[in-house]
Amino acid sequence: MIKVLSEDTIQKIAAGEVVERPASIIKELVENSIDAKADEITVHIKNGGKSYLKVTDNGSGIPKDQVEMAFLRHATSKISDFDDLYKIYTMGFRGEALASIVAVSKLNVFTKTRDEKTGLQLSYDNNKLIEKKNTGMNDGTIIEVSDLFKYIPVRQKFLGSDMTESNKITAMMYSFAIANTGISFSYIKDDKVVFNTNKNSSLKDNLTVLFGNDYTKNIIQINNDIGEYKVSGYASNNRYYKGNRSMQYIFVNGRYIDNTDLVTVIESQYHSIIPNGRFPAFQLFIETDPKNIDINISPNKQKIKFSFQDELLEMLKNTIINALIESQKIKEIEGKKEKSIKPNFYELNKTDSYQDLLDSYKPVQKGNLDNIPNLFSTNNDDIEFDMIDLDEDILDNDLEAKYTDNISDQINTTLQDNILEDKEKYIESEIDLAQSFIDDEFSFIFIGQIFKKYVLFNDTKKNQIIIMNLQAANERLIYDKLSSSLSEKIPVSDLLQPIIIDLSTKDSQTLSDNMSLFESLGYSIDNFGNNTIAIRSVPYLLEQPTNKDFFLELLDSMKVHFTRDKINEIFVKRANAMSSSYIKNIDQTQAIFLYQELKKSSNMFATQYGKKIIYSLDESEFERLLK
């Protein structure tokens, strides 16, 4: 039987379009505060906003005779008819937000205009007004929301954890603080101040507060005005990048938007100058006549349509690439004034750090102890283990200070002893290496190496050629070693000189929320205040100390859908990167040793992704290749 739904049911259904989670409420309330011309806005949340949130502003307030009307559906002061949508400059306009919020929560509103002597308090519960009274207060509006979805339990089940919901709100608050430099924002989470911005500060100053000095020391200014669009703001240079897109913000007429096309065009300009899998940071402001955009597409108003979009994309492409080129020119001019030429950052990053070079040692033949190649090293052509010379060369090029600040003096002084001990251990093991190799199920004869990628053996027992993929072999060994490190207690290195890092406000909060996890991984971290930390011990992985970049990558991973498995993913990527730097010239002893190590692995025939390591070719198959 068809029947008309009750008004309460209709409103609860409609509220689901506007209020998806606590961040949706924060967005609507803060936008109302901005539209009310507030220049001071404070946001408090508890338990990810699920149990309590409050937005306080010093804006114009709501006249007493209009407060109740403000909580009715489609009641708004921002537009009068549909045509107003094409010339709108306010953040909100539909008149749905407050009505939707009271439909799914408990709500208290306190508001006062400058012309009224007292304010007014209204209390709502389950979409009903339960109290109305005068109250003393400053000019502006305070809205408290609690028990979100209390009366719709099925909606509560779909909310994320406290951390997930907090992260959504934090990202929202960052976008507001970036977009509105004329407003002082205070954001407080579980009684802890996350950030405070100042209405008298510049955008760059606010970015320093939000993202830290490391970022604002590596930004380039963006400014262009062509045709229908004007773009301004900041973007990172090629020396600063992130493991995710958490520092990418685009605003159109002051409103944060989500547009894949714009992001893709911007990121494409960085593909050749930052490592694969890394993302630039940017905070860009696009201004245009409101008639050129349609923001009435989705309830959250973050997806919009552009007129002249091709013109905008072309403008963004040219603006970003020209700014990057100009930044590089300035860098080159400054570089000429310095005593030594700095290395290319991207090339250095591919080696991870010079510690990869210092650990370059593997078994060798007797009588050749002074030149030990490493099957896992990044470049074996000219490596010598003269620790003093290598360290001086690194310092002359200012690498240690800029890119390998995690390497402590203690590591340098003890590494030589470790190398000598392992040399002796490997030499002793080589005495019976050849015999054990021959006693295997195969009887191999080393043929040689081809294309600097593959090793060939002749299996005389089965009359076949065995082909070993060097990169795949290294990938398997490195992956197994990393997996073993995770399942066991990770060794820790205490640093004589701590790593000092200036974090962004968001990173500092993320670290605080996940400190126990970092400690379980072997990190010892002191908080100096003002988002500055000192790392005093780091985990050892693959017999090397992890570096600053690895720490920041872990921190980045915890901001976006973090799970413990995410750490494993990072280790896998690290293994893949290291395996691409296998030894280019391999001799018989090294080839045999590599095969012996593969025998001990979890799967000597394929990598974790199924790539073949060992491949056999019998006589008939070989002859078919020659026909």
For the chain, give every domain's residue range: 7-200, 207-336, 345-374+381-619
The string of DSSP codes covering 191-211 is TEEEEE--TTS-HHHHHHHHH
Contact 268, 197 (CB under 8 A): no
pLDDT band at 437 (very low <50, low <70, confident <90, very high): very low
Kindly indicate the confidence band of residue 359, based on its pLDDT and cuts at 50, 70 and 90: very low
How confident is residue 291, by pLDDT bands cut at 50, 70 and 90?
A: confident
Whether pLDDT at 622 is above 70: yes
The hierarchical CATH code for the domain 207-336 is: 3.30.230.10
H/E stretch holding 309 reads: helix 309-336
pLDDT the model gives residue 284:
96
Query: Would strands 282-287 and 248-252 be described as parallel, antiparallel, or unpaired?
Result: parallel
Q: Is the pLDDT at 137 greater than 90, yes or no? A: yes
144 versus 509: which is more confidently predicted?
144
Give the CATH superfamily of 7-200: Histidine kinase-like ATPase, C-terminal domain (3.30.565.10)
Q: What is the mean pLDDT of residues 78-90?
A: 49
pLDDT over threshold 60, residue 404: no
Q: What is the mean pLDDT of the chain?
A: 75
Q: What is the pLDDT of residues 242-261, one digit of tens each?
A: 888 889 999 998 889 888 89
Residue 218 has pLDDT above 90, yes or no: yes
Q: Is residue 62 a contact partner of residue 77, using CB atoms and an 8 Å limit?
A: no
Rg (C-alpha) for the chain, rounded Å, is: 31
- Token duo for residue 186: 């205070």
pTM: 0.62
What are residue 618's DSSP bridge partners? 464
Which range among 132-141, 229-238, 398-407 shows the weakest confidence by mean pLDDT?
A: 398-407
Tokens 């901005």 identify what position? Answer: 34
Q: Which residue's entry shows tokens 């068809």?
A: 2
Provide the sign of the torsion angle of the four alpha carbons 30, 34, 38, 40, taken in this order. Answer: positive
